[in-house]
Amino acid sequence: MRVIDTKSKQFEKNFSRLISSKRSQSVSKVKLVNQIINNIKKKGDKALFVYSKKYKKVNINKKNIKISNSEVNKIIKNLNNDVKKAINVAYKRIYQFHKNQAMTGYVFKDKIGNQLSYKYRSLNSIGIYVPGGTASYPSTLLMNAIPAIVAGVKNIYAALPCPEGKINPGVLYAAKKCKINSLFRVGGAQAIAALAYGTESIPKVDKIVGPGNIFVATAKKEVFGSVGIDMVAGPSEITVVADQTCNPEWTAIDLLSQAEHDVLSQSILITKNKKFGDHVRQIINEYLKYLPRNKIASKSIKNYGAIIIAKNNKEIVRIVDRIAPEHLEIKVKNPETIEKKISNAGSIFLGKYSPEAIGDYIAGTNHVLPTSGSARFSSGLSVSDFYKKTSIIKCSKSGIEKIGQLAINLAEYEGLTAHALSIQKRLGD
């Protein structure tokens, strides 16, 4: 885990290299993904079944592509009760947080008799992609489904990759809790294409949400425009701001909590105390010896991890905003003093008792967050992502008479004669 000191003459060079490091895989995947998409568009289910067998080692057909209610009930029957309880509580807390984001629109009447309004309507249908490769996450389904439920989306479908035919019972339980309309045992770029364009078995949706591997992310990017997407998410990342008042072991584990996700994940510690940073690094190295996903975490820490030694809080704020991290932990004596100055972060966790992991599961906020510096201009998933917003204009006769000539002036200035005439005719020649 590299150490970068802001006092070093090489700091800017080393820091720029750190935050601009390529944490995505080759764009060569685009050609293959587009081939898959085009085949799904042309051949529908036939191509979907072929790709599922080829890439997921799953034999699916028209009869079994949809996971039946009886199959769901059978699989979740033996799910650990502690897991069920955790999912139930997580659902409740996530729902409670997101219900406060519901939108109703508004009406504005100006002084000259015109009425302007803004109307919110929920999307008709969405598709949720729930990863099923190296790991499978019930929390992913909850975080993507619940905001849509609050928004009033009527048709919610989920694509569940089932490598070698295996289905995660926790994901199925979460799906049942969310009352997902239909569950399809499909994954990969082919699942994204099927949701985007529809097949004989899978309906076309208005928007696709949920994370996935490079093939899924690329497919979402390629189908965007034909269908809405939440974001093109990159590898997970965390930045921890901590000082000597914080437990170094807790700090080390928090950094590892993201490193274990993916070899491309990034974990960064920012501290003013070099001795504290060195201690954290030692603990990380010890945990890497026996962490179950140590091979993944070790590569992540080695290639993309860093400890940044800063002089003061002003420097810390500047560095954090340049990173614009997906997750930001602030674990100093008075975390609010730093937090209130931060502009760029997907989600912020304040104080030593607020680990990022609590937000992943049960705090209630959404864990679908902007990555790769995109927190500079985007936000995490919310209820607003499942609305369409429509503006409505109703001009009165006196209202258009008072502002119409000004619009005509602008239309003529822009050389759009018909625009001008459209208004002029209502004003009288």
- SS3 assignment, position 281: helix
170-212 pLDDT, tens digit each: 999 999 999 999 999 999 999 999 999 999 999 999 999 999 8
d(CA 327, CA 369): 8
**Phi and psi dihedrals of 49, rounded to 5?**
-65, -40
CATH topology of domain 29-229: Rossmann fold (3.40.50)
pLDDT tens-digit profile of 328-368? 999 999 999 999 999 999 999 999 999 999 999 999 999 99
- 266-297 pLDDT tens trace: 999 999 999 999 999 999 999 999 999 999 99
Question: What is the model's pLDDT at position 102?
Answer: 93
Do 2-23+234-363 and 29-229 fold alike per CATH?
yes
Angle (CA) 107-113-118 rounded to 5° is 20
| Span 217-238, pLDDT tens digits | 999 999 999 999 999 888 899 9
User: What was the pLDDT predicted at 23?
Assistant: 58
For residues 341-367, one letter each, b for 16 or more C-beta atoms within 10 angstroms of the residue's C-beta and e for the rest, the string is ebebbbbbbbbbebbbbebbbbbbbbb
Tokens of 418: 């018909």
For CA atoms 97, 91, 157, 372, the dihedral sign is positive
pLDDT digits (tens, 9 = 90+) for 126-168: 999 998 755 578 999 999 999 999 999 999 999 999 877 788 9
Q: Quick one: tokens of 400?
A: 């258009």
Residues recognised as catalytic: 326-327
For the chain, percent of residues with pLDDT exceeding 70:
97
Q: Provide the mean pLDDT of the chain.
A: 94
What does pTM read for this prediction?
0.92
Q: Identify each DSSP E strand in 177-275 by its residue range.
A: 182-184, 207-209, 228-229, 237-242, 266-271
Residue 125 has pLDDT above 90, yes or no: yes
> What's the pLDDT at 213?
86
Half-sphere exposure of 46 (CA within 13 A, CB side): 5
Cα separation, 419 vs 412, whole angstroms:
8
Topology given in CATH for the domain delimited by 2-23+234-363: Rossmann fold (3.40.50)
Please give the pLDDT value at position 26: 52
Domain boundaries, the chain: 2-23+234-363, 29-229, 397-427
Pair 330, 341: CB distance under 8 Å = no
Question: Token digits for 60?
Answer: 């699916």
Question: Is the C-alpha dihedral spanning 20, 21, 23, 28 positive or negative?
Answer: positive
Instruction: Give the tens place of pLDDT for each residue, 58-90.
Output: 889 999 999 999 999 999 999 999 999 999 999
Q: Mention every residue, 6+ apart, whose C-beta is less than 8 A from residue 415.
A: none
Which of 325, 257, 251, 326 has its CA nearest to residue 296?
Answer: 257
- Among the listed residues 234, 288, 291, the one whose alpha carbon sits nearest the alpha carbon of residue 264: 234
Give the model's pLDDT for residue 133.
57
Handedness of CA 296, 302, 304, 310 (dihedral sign): positive
